[in-house]
Amino acid sequence: MLFYLLLFIILLLSALSTLFYASFLIFGKQRDFHVKPSDFLSTKLDKSTLDFIESEKPKKTGLVYGVVGGSGFLGRHLIRALLERGETKIYNFDLVKDSTKFSYSDLDDRIKFCKVDVRSRSSILEAFKAADHIDVVYSVFAAIRPHNFLSADLHLSWEVNVIGTENLIAVLKDLGIKMLIQTSTSNVTLGYDRLNTFNGTEDIGYTKHPFNHYCLTKSKAEKLVLKSNCEELKTGSIRPCTYIYGMGDAFSTSILSGNKIINPSFNKNVVADYVYVENVVHGHLLLEEKLRTEWNLVGGKAFNISNEEPMSDEEFTSILTSFDKTLNWRGYVPPLLLWLVTLIFTFKGLFNSKSSTIILNYPVFLLCNNSNTYR
Encode pLDDT of 89-113 as tens digits: 999 999 988 765 555 555 578 999 9
Encode pLDDT of 122-159 as tens digits: 999 999 999 989 999 999 999 987 777 777 778 889 99
pLDDT at 181: 98
150/359 Cα distance (integer angstroms) = 8
Which of 10-19, 229-238, 253-262, 300-309 ranks highest by mean pLDDT?
A: 229-238
pLDDT at 44: 57
Whether the predicted pLDDT of 219 surpasses 80: yes
Whether the predicted pLDDT of 246 surpasses 90: no
Whether the predicted pLDDT of 291 surpasses 50: yes
Q: What are phi and psi for residue 259, nearest 5 degrees?
A: -80, 100
Residue range 307-314: mean pLDDT, rounded: 80
pLDDT at 36: 43
pLDDT at 59: 87
pLDDT at 257: 55
Say if strands 136-139 and 196-200 run parallel, antiparallel, or are unpaired: unpaired
Q: Half-sphere exposure of 88 toward its Cβ, with a 13 Å CA cutoff?
A: 1
Residue range 214-221: mean pLDDT, rounded: 94
pTM of the model: 0.80
Report the helix count and the strand count for the chain, using DSSP H and E: 14, 13
Domains located in the chain, CATH noted:
38-325 (3.40.50.720)
Encode pLDDT of 254-279 as tens digits: 655 555 545 555 556 677 888 999 99
Residue range 337-356: mean pLDDT, rounded: 58
pLDDT at 319: 75
Count other Cβ atoms within 10 Å, centred on residue 123.
18
In which band, very low, low, confident or very high, does the pLDDT at 356 lie, cut at 50, 70 and 90?
very low
pLDDT at 211: 84
141 vs 309, residue with greater confidence: 141
250 vs 64, residue with greater confidence: 64
147/157 Cα distance (integer angstroms) = 11
Residue range 330-352: mean pLDDT, rounded: 60
Q: Half-sphere exposure of 156 toward its Cβ, with a 13 Å CA cutoff?
A: 19
218 in Cβ contact with 239 (< 8 Å): no
Report the share of the chain in percent with pLDDT over 70.
Answer: 65
Whether the predicted pLDDT of 13 surpasses 70: no
58 vs 184, residue with greater confidence: 184
User: Across all residues in the chain, what is the average pLDDT?
Assistant: 78
pLDDT at 367: 43
347/113 Cα distance (integer angstroms) = 42
Encode pLDDT of 17-50 as tens digits: 656 555 554 444 444 444 444 444 445 566 777 6
